């Protein structure tokens, strides 16, 4: 094999490897291909009691009126997010208790994989919280400390 033939062969191999590296998997390619980007980001699916919450992950549903539900029948609808072709944006301020977290409920910082209590996610409170809310917070703290 001559020098030119070897160079052409190596060039072909390198181009093939480069093209293979530019491909994207079916599940993570936007419509129109890798470089098209997502043209629209939609709000995440509604979930929870009366549809008042939002899906934060495939098994996490959060709302101001009920907190966060994980792996419950109310959060089951959130599994549909995986099948939708466009990404959704979780509504909420950025928080630091969880990596890539958002304040999704009063006192909760969640990502698509987990949630944590975060005092930065407290909503404005008028007056004293009632006893029921304080007991609920203590119960959640105790449950989160369980191994």
Which residue do the tokens 């093939």 mark?
16
DSSP assignment, residue 147?
-
Domains of the chain, earliest start first: 42-123+130-145 (2.60.9.10)
**pLDDT tens, residue order, the chain (147 aa):** 677 776 666 665 555 554 544 444 444 555 555 555 555 688 999 999 999 999 999 999 999 999 999 999 999 999 999 899 888 999 999 999 999 999 999 999 999 999 999 999 987 653 344 556 666 776 777 777 766
Please give the backbone phi and psi of residue 127, each rounded to the nearest 5 degrees, phi first: 75, -165
* Predicted structure pTM score: 0.58
Residue-by-residue DSSP string for 12-80? HHHHHHHHHHH---GGGPPTT-GGG--S--EEPPEESGGG-EEEEETTEEEETTTEEEESSGGGGGGGG
**pLDDT, tens digit, 9 for 90 and up, residues 125-142:** 533 445 566 667 767 777
CA–CA dist 102, 112 (Å, integer) = 10
CA–CA dist 126, 11 (Å, integer) = 70
């Amino acid at each position: 094999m001559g020098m030119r033939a070897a160079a052409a062969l190596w060039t072909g191999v390198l181009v093939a490897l480069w093209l293979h590296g530019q491909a994207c998997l079916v599940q993570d390619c936007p419509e129109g291909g890798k470089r098209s980007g997502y043209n629209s980001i939609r709000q995440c699916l509604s979930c929870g009691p009366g549809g008042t919450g939002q899906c934060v992950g495939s098994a996490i549903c959060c709302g101001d009126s009920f907190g966060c539900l994980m792996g419950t029948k109310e959060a089951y609808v959130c599994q549909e997010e995986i099948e939708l072709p466009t990404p959704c944006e979780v509504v909420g301020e950025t928080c630091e208790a969880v990596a890539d977290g958002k304040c999704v409920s009063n006192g909760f910082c969640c990502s698509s994989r987990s949630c944590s209590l975060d005092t930065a996610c407290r909503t404005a409170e008028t007056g004293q919280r009632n006893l029921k809310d304080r007991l609920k917070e203590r119960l959640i703290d105790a449950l989160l400390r369980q191994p």
